[in-house]
Structure 1
Amino acid sequence: MQQLNLITDKTKEEIAIEFIRKHEPPEGYYLGFSGGKDSVVMYDLTLKSGAKFEAHYSATGIDPPELVQFIRDEYPSVTWHRPMMKMPRKFPEWKGTRSFFEMLQVKGYPSRRSRWCCDQLKKNPPKNVPLKNYLLGMRAEESNARALRPNPDYFKKRREWIYKPIFDWLEWEIWEYIESNNLPYCSLYDEGFDRLGCVVCPFICHGVRGKLKMSMKRWPKIYAAFEKAMKKLFDNYLCVVNPRSGATNYRRETNFEEFLDNWYWGK
């Protein structure tokens, strides 16, 4: 049972629903849906609010197959998109939609400081969807960087508003809401995977040996494809250009095993 806010005398559920209603644009919201626990709660709260919205899922190609199947089975109304990669002008032969593994050869490997994959695969909205007001299941508890962002959040360059109705919710409150409302959730949570997303995400892999081993054991084919792409990158390039700063980072490793191991542990 949710606790009452001592100032507003309302539960977090009631506050979130009011937030959604208050900011509802005439054309409706774009609800970013990933299939994770926070998205499940956001979807349900938005339904309860009665606000107009469209739920969209970015099919990255490297999400856990179990998560993909969960979205197919439990949320058939969600619209799927295959992200269109933005290619640098110096690579005209790479026009069109490309996979994450192909993009490694152009963008270099992703890291905590250079997460081009998030922008390319998840954050860039489909151009054929005109909605500019986004509902996201972001929570301040997840990282210090997220906690410092305002809510709502305006991105001037893209002319987009980001609304985060569950921004101040804690993880246990998310699970309490799911349980009390009998909402479906991906079975991977019951197997010990506390965060669901791209299988080879630097934020999941780097420095957490237990999580990495568990992921590699569960999805060996995805890791095999990733390591094959990394080997090609290692063999073909002496350096990697940072997509954000434009700086050239020269490879310091002398063999592929060292190169790959350093990536896995965030070195």
Structure 2
Amino acid sequence: MRPETTLQELCVQMHHRVSEFLTREQNQNLQKTQRQVRVSLKILEEAISKYGLDGLSLSYNGGKDCLVLLILYLSALHNHFPARLRAVHIRTLHPFTEVDEFVAESQRTYCLQLVHYQGRPMREAFADYLHAHPEIRAVLVGTRRADPHGSQLKYFHRTDRGWPDFVRIHPVIDWHYADVWNFIRELDVPYCSLYDRGYTSLGGTEDTRPNPVLKRDWGYAPAHELEDDDMERLGRD
């Protein structure tokens, strides 16, 4: 991807790649992921229609789930001619260097207008972000059912009492772990290098380690080899 690629060109490119993925010959696993992609795109189109480009932002931390969401969002924007892509990065207290580097690379590659918050509780960081950008009414989030507090979430879910008031949008909420890696690998999307070293869920350096299920005699198998959603967070404290 050329460094001089504009956001509009990038959206068209991603739309072509996602559309091509949806037309590929289907096996059972790929068919499930293609179905998830179609549902997610409908949710994103509804969000764009409801809140407008200036009313939306993306929560991005460099993890696999929000990476999938980013690619889908870019694809959904292909005929809206966005001037910018708003995003917020709430950085963990003890970040991995590899994650920081990947977030910076993503910011350049995907034309993200990314606002960073360091070592702040998520609630406070969002309060500051929305105070600085009062036009934003909804935030796209890469939460899935397997995540803590994800089991009861809806596609459009207003924040809980005590949080700053905005709508959380969860386009990939019903994706399974295998769907995430099917999509990333089929589209050949670059991802954080920690996933190739056995990490399956990324937090900070003090609460994240390679997934023990992927331990081998020679080290750790890559994240995409994990098969069970319920084991995704075994490397997290």
TM-score by length of 2: 0.63
Distance 2:31 2:93 in 1: 39
Tell me what 1:65 maps to: 97
Residue 152 of structure 1: how far off its partner (Å)? 1.2
Residue 155 of structure 1: how far off its partner (Å)? 2.1
Tell me what 1:139 maps to: 144
Residue 139 of structure 1: how far off its partner (Å)? 0.2
Residue 210 of structure 1: how far off its partner (Å)? 6.1
Aligned residues of 1:19 and 1:165 also touching (Cα < 8 A): yes
Distance 2:103 2:57 in 1: 17
Tell me what 1:54 maps to: 86
Distance 1:133 1:164 in 2: 11
Tell me what 1:22 maps to: 46
Aligned residues of 2:144 and 2:173 also touching (Cα < 8 A): yes
Q: Which of 51, 55, 60 is the equivalent residue of 1:33?
A: 60
Aligned residues of 1:154 and 1:162 also touching (Cα < 8 A): yes
The percentage of aligned residue pairs carrying the same residue is 20
Q: Give SS of 1:67's match.
A: helix
Q: Which of 171, 176, 182 is the equivalent residue of 1:165?
A: 171
Residue 80 of structure 1: how far off its partner (Å)? 3.2
Q: Name the amino acid aligned to 1:80.
A: V
Structure 1 residues 37-116: aligned runs within 5 Å: 37-50=64-77, 53-76=85-108, 77-78=111-112, 79-83=114-118
* Distance change (3 Å), C-alpha of 1:189 and 1:152: same
Tell me what 1:197 maps to: 203
Distance 2:160 2:92 in 1: 26
Aligned residues of 2:92 and 2:203 also touching (Cα < 8 A): no
- CA radius of gyration, larger in: 1
Distance 2:150 2:179 in 1: 18
1:147-173 Cα offsets, whole Å, 9 max, x none, are 122331112653210110000000010
Tell me what 1:155 maps to: 159
Aligned residues of 1:74 and 1:184 also touching (Cα < 8 A): no
Distance 2:103 2:90 in 1: 11
Tell me what 2:218 maps to: none
Tell me what 1:3 maps to: 31
Residue 75 of structure 1: how far off its partner (Å)? 2.8
- Unaligned segments of structure 2, at least 5 residues: 1-25, 214-236
Q: Would you say how many aligned residue pairs link Structure 1 and Structure 2? A: 172
Q: Give SS of 1:188's match.
A: helix
Q: Name the amino acid aligned to 1:36.
A: G
TM-score by length of 1: 0.56
Q: Name the amino acid aligned to 1:12.
A: Q
Q: RMSD value over aligned CA atoms?
A: 3.0
Residue 209 of structure 1: how far off its partner (Å)? 10
Distance 1:11 1:209 in 2: 28
Residue 197 of structure 1: how far off its partner (Å)? 1.9
